[in-house]
């Protein structure tokens, strides 16, 4: 998923100033708009009408009143890094970068699973990257795709149509779906399809056959037909299209694509800039109107006659040009701020010296890249502004389109079956090409394939975040650096043989408390968004000491609360208990040494009364080989619905024979009648880094491929063991 950032330089007179902002007007009736306002204010969901994808009115800005989905896969990888839990709750986009990603692969869950997970989180907005055009990314190699230049038919029937079918399911009518449409495609047609030093034959081919425009148009038309979808077209960044001679041609190109293959400008909610790039959201110390000794800063080598110095002014200027070409007067812009913070000790705190335009710009710019055309795994970058709604005029939201920590491309050639080639712009030893002024790439060494987890990059992004994340640094001035108050009133509210329940009084913060971290015997046991937490997977008749810390959205963490002690109850032993519940199990993966565990589980109620599933926990015990990277879990299928099934991994405070972790399965709601069973529940578990697991010594693992009673899978009701024997 590396993204090319070609730079075409022009010297042109200044553009006219932006026009006043106007928000877009929708065709909804006044009563429908009023109903939507009431629903948002009350935090309620409107049920979908039968046979329709959504009964919700289309929103002017889908981010207003939204609770965006946090991708559990990315979140687990981020939380496994030192200090990463401070940002692991941030919403990021889900990249559908190949056909297989729609149904899911062994490495990642599919689209339906993400939507189900969003509903389980209580989220109402999911962000997707639509990214699989024919001849994808014609100006770079690291993010080349699986479809050839002439595979438009496959793109439509095997990629866009299946996505639209999933999104049209009435089960997802309550979700707002934001689609980022095809990064890098249309901007490449403007600058790299002939006549410039950075042009490529591949881009010339895509301009000639029109398949970028046809594909984008088809995606806009097909996805735009769904009333709960919001399409934002990728529009490069200021260091790509910000020159006067590029801006209007870009607006014309976007208009052409938006009126091709059945699409209309009405299918476009807005545009996104800086996707997966590093350009500063705002340059605080350099303005395009600045002069040094009578010289315009546009003459500096860094700006090189560009009309813009940052993404905010570029987004606003492009927006004006788009409206002039016939797009809705209220279109909104998104800015990807995932990796453009440029904090740390080297962040300038004021303008550069006034000895020359170059000294002034280079000494004051916060974007510290060697060249604005450098796009791959940039050394020194930091996390940028956290996702935010309507942060500036004409801007719908700051978003994290590129999940921080996912590589832009491999720093050396790597054999793979993902269609991703080696691009020298990801090689730190490469001295560049015409698209970056023949400068060094500024790329980090030892990078994996595009889209794969790059731990060293994530740690650097965290350390150089601006605004800073907690105590990770940041330098400069500004940003939220004040920690919340200390939580008080920590109390043990309940105990069971394997769990302790805690409550406390809420902390306060100058902005808002984002959540709480719960510590057991000085080690982080889990997190909570409210003021209660149940610590599970404990040993019977054992005393534990707990403290709680509060944290805010910027990652500032309070000092620990006063400690409390809790002693778990003596184990009640195994066997059916009074509820009549029992667990049945089958093995859905015969391999014992690969990178996943795939248990099939089923609950059976052999009792005489119904059981409230919201009080039930099922526990599958396994060894994680002392893994410190964390785990990720999925519900691949459940007869009762994966939106009802909740999965998590508990690290045991002390290892047992055959187990140092447990896969815990709970239920959001439901009742299991006497004599009934839950039906098939297919689960999956993997380490966050996808390294192999050794299942041969796992306590709960069996070899049977048909359901059978499993006494090594334990069941609890209200924290009391009612079936099975713990290890």
Cα–Cα nearest to 275, from 399, 192, 382: 399
Cα–Cα nearest to 71, from 34, 111, 39, 102: 111
Question: Residue 550 CB: number of other CB atoms within 10 A?
Answer: 26
Q: What CA dihedral angle connects 345, 397, 481 and 516, to 10 degrees? A: -120
β-sheet bridge partners, residue 413: none
Q: In 229-247, which positions are buried (b, 16+ CB within 10 angstroms) versus exposed (e)? A: bbbbbbbbbbbbbbbbbbb
Residues marked as catalytic: 137
CA distance 273 to 398: 10
CA distance 409 to 427: 9
DSSP 86-140: GTTTS--PEEE-STHHHHB-SSSB-HHHHHHHHHHHT--EEEEEE---TT--TT-
Cα–Cα nearest to 75, from 633, 692, 537: 633
Helices 201-209 and 211-224: crossing angle in degrees, nearest 10, is: 60
- What are the structure tokens assigned to 324, written together? 């002039």
8 Å CB contact between 598 and 682: yes
Question: Residue 43 CB: number of other CB atoms within 10 A?
Answer: 10
- What are the structure tokens assigned to 490, written together? 């920590």
Strand 681-687 and strand 599-605: the pairing is antiparallel
CA distance 150 to 696: 48
Helix (H) or strand (E) run with residue 79 in it = helix 72-79
Q: Show the 3-state SS of 145-166.
A: CCCCCCCHHHHHHHHHHHHHHH
Counting DSSP H helices and E strands in the chain, the numbers are 14, 29
Residue 39, SS3?
Answer: helix
- What are the structure tokens assigned to 454, written together? 């790059």
Cα–Cα nearest to 470, from 552, 381, 527: 552
Cα–Cα nearest to 328, from 231, 226, 184: 231
Q: Please state whether the peptide bond connecting residue 434 to the residue before it is cis, i.e. omega within 30 degrees of 0.
A: no
Question: Residue 608 CB: number of other CB atoms within 10 A?
Answer: 8
Provide the strand spans (E) within 370-481: 388-392, 395-399
Provide the strand spans (E) within 581-640: 581-587, 599-605, 611-612, 616-622, 631-638
8 Å CB contact between 253 and 189: yes
CA distance 44 to 36: 10
8 Å CB contact between 311 and 367: no
8 Å CB contact between 528 and 599: no
Q: What CA dihedral angle connects 49, 51, 52 and 55, to 10 degrees? A: 0
CA distance 400 to 384: 9
Query: Phi/psi zone of residue 478: left (φ > 0), alpha (ψ -120 to 50 degrees), beta?
Result: left
């Amino acid at each position: 998923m590396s993204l090319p950032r070609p730079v075409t330089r022009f010297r042109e007179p200044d553009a006219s100033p932006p026009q006043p902002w106007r928000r877009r007007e929708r065709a909804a009736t006044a009563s429908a708009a009023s109903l939507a306002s009431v629903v948002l204010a009350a935090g309620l969901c409107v049920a979908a009408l039968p046979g329709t994808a959504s009964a919700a009115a289309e929103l002017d800005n889908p981010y207003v009143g939204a609770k965006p989905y946090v991708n559990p896969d990315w979140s687990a990888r981020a939380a496994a890094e030192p200090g990463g839990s401070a940002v692991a709750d941030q919403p990021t986009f889900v990249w559908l970068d190949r056909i297989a990603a729609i149904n899911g692969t062994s490495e990642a869950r599919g689209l339906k699973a993400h939507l189900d997970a969003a509903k389980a989180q209580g989220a109402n907005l999911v962000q997707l990257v639509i990214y699989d055009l024919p001849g994808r990314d014609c100006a770079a190699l690291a993010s080349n795709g699986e479809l050839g230049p002439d595979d438009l038919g496959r793109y439509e029937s095997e990629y866009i149509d299946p996505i639209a079918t999933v999104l049209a399911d009435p089960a997802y009518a309550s979700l707002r779906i934001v689609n980022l449409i095809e990064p890098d495609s249309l901007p490449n047609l403007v600058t790299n399809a002939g006549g410039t030093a950075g042009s490529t034959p591949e881009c010339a081919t895509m301009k000639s056959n029109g398949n970028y425009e046809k594909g984008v148009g088809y995606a806009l038309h097909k996805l735009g037909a769904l009333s709960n979808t919001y399409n934002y077209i990728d529009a490069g960044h200021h260091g790509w299209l910000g020159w006067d001679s590029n801006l209007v041609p870009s607006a014309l190109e976007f208009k052409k694509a938006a009126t091709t293959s059945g699409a209309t400008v009405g299918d476009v909610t807005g545009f996104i800039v800086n996707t997966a790039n590093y350009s500063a959201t705002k340059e605080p110390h350099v303005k395009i109107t600045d002069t040094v000794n009578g010289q315009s800063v546009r003459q500096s080598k860094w700006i090189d006659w560009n009309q813009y110095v940052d993404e905010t002014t570029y987004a606003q200027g492009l927006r004006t040009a788009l409206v002039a070409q016939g797009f809705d007067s209220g279109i909104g812009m998104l800015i990807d701020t995932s990796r453009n913070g440029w904090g740390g000790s080297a962040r300038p705190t004021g303008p550069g010296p006034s000895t020359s335009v170059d000294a002034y710009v280079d000494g004051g710019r916060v974007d510290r890249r060697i060249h604005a055309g450098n796009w791959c795994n940039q050394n020194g970058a930091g996390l940028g502004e956290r996702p935010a709604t309507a942060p500036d005029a004409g801007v719908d939201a700051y978003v994290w389109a590129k999940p921080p920590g996912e590589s832009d491309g491999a720093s050396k050639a790597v054999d793979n079956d993902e269609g991703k080639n080696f691009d020298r712009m990801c090689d730190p030893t490469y001295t560049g090409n015409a698209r970056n002024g023949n400068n060094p790439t500024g790329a980090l060494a030892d990078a994996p394939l595009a889209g794969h987890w790059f731990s060293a990059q994530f740690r650097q992004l965290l350390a150089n975040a601006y605004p800073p994340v907690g105590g990770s640094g940041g330098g400069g001035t500004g940003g939220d650096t004040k920690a919340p108050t200390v939580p008080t009133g920590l109390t043990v509210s309940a105990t069971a043989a394997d769990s302790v329940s805690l409550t406390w009084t809420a902390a306060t913060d100058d902005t808002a408390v984002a959540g709480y971290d719960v510590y057991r015997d000085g080690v982080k046991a889990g997190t909570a968004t409210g003021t209660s937490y149940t610590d599970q997977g404990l040993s019977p008749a054992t005393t534990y000491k707990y403290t709680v810390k509060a944290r805010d959205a910027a990652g500032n963490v309070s000092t620990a609360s006063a400690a409390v002690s809790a002693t778990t109850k003596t184990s009640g032993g195994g066997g059916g208990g009074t509820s009549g519940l029992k667990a049945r199990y089958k093995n859905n993966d015969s391999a014992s040494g690969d990178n996943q565990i795939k248990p099939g589980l089923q609950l059976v109620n052999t009792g005489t009364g119904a059981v409230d599933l919201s009080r039930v926990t099922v526990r599958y015990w396994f060894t994680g080989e002392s893994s410190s990277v964390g785990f990720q879990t999925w519900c691949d299928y459940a007869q009762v619905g994966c939106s009802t099934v909740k999965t998590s991994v508990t690290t045991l405070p002390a290892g047992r024979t055959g187990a140092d972790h447990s896969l815990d399965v709970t239920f959001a709601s439901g009742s299991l009648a006497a004599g009934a069973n839950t039906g098939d529940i297919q689960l999956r578990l993997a380490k966050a880094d996808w390294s192999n697991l050794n299942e041969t010594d796992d306590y709960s693992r069996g070899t049977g491929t048909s359901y059978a009673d499993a006494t090594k899978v334990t069941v609890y009701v209200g924290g009391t063991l009612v079936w099975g024997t713990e290890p």
